[in-house]
Amino acid sequence: MERVVIIGNGGAGKSTLARRLGAFTGLPVYHLDRLFWHAGWIPTPDETWRPLVNSLIATDRWIAEGNYGGTMAERLKRADTIIWLDYPRITCTRRAFWRGLSQFGRTRPHDMAPGCPERVDREFLAWVWNYQAHRRPGVKQLLRAQPRDKKIIVLRNDNHAARFLLRVYHDHLDRRQESGGEPSIRLALPRDSEALARIHIEGWQAAYQHIFPPEAFAERTIEKRRADWDEQLAEAPGDERVWVSEQEGRVVGFALTRPGLDTDIEHPGELKLFYVDPLLRGRGIGLPLFRHALADLQARGMTPYLYTLKENHEARAWYERRGWYADGPQAPWSSQGLYPGIVEVRYRPAP
């Protein structure tokens, strides 16, 4: 289960299931509503929407949640697992109405774009009520046409969904226990460029989907990033060093250390990049790599610091649990003025 499509009626719970499934598996989650709509409920033009969706599903690991019939065929073709929430229409209509009423005027933080406040939409409620008669037969036909090796899971109520998630959770624990051997950490080699590119892009997608607009993800592909890594790793390690964490012959994370540019710190040393394969999060890979990168900076007589996105609350909490703190300075994410309003905050170890 590495490329998952979740479809179903509005109000069935697609976005909730996607988030929970993503938490258990480490797969990056894409809420199509969040990608399609822009502030003021402005839709993405078709000539932009299709390339965006295709760029996301071209990667190796993802969960795509949402219907959007115009791109469904491409998503189903790329998926290895299709989950259909085939809930009763009375359940879906009641939930959709209650969601619009209880969150009216507020934007759902995970699965809707900023500037798209919740509303009680009669047209949408009618679509939900009529889904069983108008949409369900077409979905059944699509699923019947899928190849036999495609895994299709039909969940008809919350009990079905809970049991499914419990199975996924136990499978994840079993894989975690089976993964043996402690990761080893070494300097990156030219042969690592493909693995670094994949972890870099998939880690970026998993961490920042709720922060950056859709076009930011379309601009970043594994192929482009691999070309960058090919160029960088062709040179011998200098002041800028790339460390990889390797487990059983597989690269599972990387960190980039370099002399820093912050002049208010004496002998500054920056942890510029720090990524772990999102599928392997929670397995204790990140902390040894993090400590190794800091030890490298300190061994070179540098005072370590890093920047992380202000809205990346999960990463900030992770650093704070390790005794780091935001010491005040902030900087735009892009020095070229891209995506204004997205800023990074500086973190340093507690004295």
**DSSP notation for 304-340:** EEEEEETT-HHHHHHHHHTTEEEEEEEEES-TT--ST
Instruction: Identify the pLDDT of residue 284.
Output: 83
Write down the pLDDT at residue 109: 67
Tokens 């929970």 found at? 20
CA-nearest of 257, 248, 249 to 292 is: 257
277 CB burial (10 A radius; 0-12, 13-18, 19+): buried
Residue 25 CA to residue 36 CA, distance in Å, equals 25
* CA angle, 58 then 85 then 152, to 5°: 55
pLDDT at 167: 80
Q: What is the pLDDT of residue 114?
A: 79
Angle at alpha carbon of residue 115, lines to 113 and 117, rounded to 5°:
90
Q: Please state, in angstroms and rounded to a whole number, the distance separating the CA atoms of residues 242 and 187.
A: 6
pLDDT at 173: 57
- Count CA within 13 A, CB hemisphere, residue 247: 19
211-256: pLDDT as tens digits: 888 778 877 888 899 999 999 988 766 789 999 999 888 899 999 9
Tokens 């993800």 -> residue? 217
Q: Is 305 left (phi over 0), alpha (psi -120 to 50) or beta?
A: beta
Token reading at 326: 């935001």
Residue 178 burial (10 A CB sphere; 0-12, 13-18, 19+): exposed
246/272 Cα distance (integer angstroms): 19
* Low pLDDT (below 70) residues in the chain: 109-110, 170, 172-182, 236-237
pTM for this entry: 0.55
Least Cα distance to 289 among 334, 246, 349, 324 occurs for 246
Q: Taking Cα atoms as reference points, which of 220, 209, 201, 176 lies closest to residue 15?
A: 209
Nearest-angstrom CA–CA distance, 23 and 299: 36
**Cβ contacts of residue 2 below 8 Å, gap of 6+?**
27, 60, 61, 62, 80, 279
What the chain holds in terms of domains, given with CATH numbers, is 3-178 (3.40.50.300), 184-349 (3.40.630.30)
How far from the centroid of its chain's Cα atoms is residue 97's Cα? Answer: 29
What are 330's strand-pairing partners? 345
